[in-house]
Amino acid sequence: MTWYKNLGGDSGIASYEIGADKITITFSTNVSYEYTYDSAGVDHIENMKSLAKNGQGLNSYINKYVKKRYSRIF
């Protein structure tokens, strides 16, 4: 997992892990959500990967576009 930079200072995201066709987001509550091409769509996953690497805007993006489109929670 890579620590999320949280440049905005108010994100609930702690870390993320990028795969070829997915992204796993771990929130500050220690709950992880896996989003895949199949569950959320290629464009959304690629946008989420970019936001994760940039360290800003990922939590807002998730809430606006893919909130419940995860493939699993763990």
Rounded Cα distance, 40 and 68, in Å: 9
Question: Mean pLDDT over residues 35-64, rounded?
Answer: 98
- The pTM of the full predicted model, rounded to 2 decimals, is 0.95
Q: Identify any residues that bridge with 15 across adjacent strands, giving them in sequence order.
A: 3, 26
pLDDT score for 14: 98
Provide the pairing of β-strand 22-27 with 72-73: unpaired
Neighbours of 3 (CB within 10 A): 11
Rounded Cα distance, 43 and 73, in Å: 21
Tokens of 18: 């990028």
pLDDT score for 17: 98
Closest to 24 measured CA to CA, from 34, 36, 15: 34
